[in-house]
Amino acid sequence: MKREKIMAKRNLTIIVIVLLLILLVVAIVYIIYDKYTIFKQQREFSAFQQGAQAGYEQAIIQVAQQASTCNQVPLRLGNQTMNIIWVDCLQALAQQQTQ
C-alpha cells in the first residue's frame, strides 16, 4: 500500500512534468511564430516603401524629362490640373523676344 502511494505520487509528478514541458513547447512555438510573423510583415512593408520611393523618383524624372522639352507638362491633382513649364525655357523665350 505504501509502495502504491509512492508509485501514484511518482506517476503524478511525471504527468505534471510532461504537461509543463508540453506547455513550454507550445509557448516557445507561439513566440517563434509571433516573431516570424512580425519579421515577415516588416520585410513586406520595407519592400512596399522601397517600391513607393522608386515610383516617386521615376515620376519626378519623367516630369523633368518632359519639361526639358520646353513644352507644358500637365499635372493632375484630384480635380485640378496644373501646367508645369521649365523656367529655363521661359528665360530663353524672354531672351529671344528681347532680341
Domain coverage including residue 19:
1-67
Q: Do 20 and 34 share a domain, yes or no?
A: yes
Grid cell digits, residue 39: 519579421
Q: Do 79 and 57 share a domain, yes or no?
A: no
Residue 61 has a pLDDT of 94
How far are the Cα atoms of 44, 45, 55, 60 from residue 50, in angstroms, in the given order?
10, 9, 9, 16
**pLDDT tens, 66-77?**
988 888 899 998
Res. 20 pLDDT band, cuts 50 70 90: very high
For the full predicted model, state whether its pTM sits above 0.85. no
Q: CA nearest 85: which of 96, 98, 99, 74?
A: 74
Residue 91 has a pLDDT of 84
Q: Do 5 and 43 share a domain, yes or no?
A: yes
Q: Do 37 and 75 share a domain, yes or no?
A: no
Residue 48 has a pLDDT of 96
Alpha carbon 75 to chain centroid distance?
A: 28
Mean pLDDT, to the nearest integer, of 22-34? 98
Q: Do 39 and 62 share a domain, yes or no?
A: yes
Residue 8 has a pLDDT of 83
- Integer Cα distance of 67 and 53 in angstroms: 21
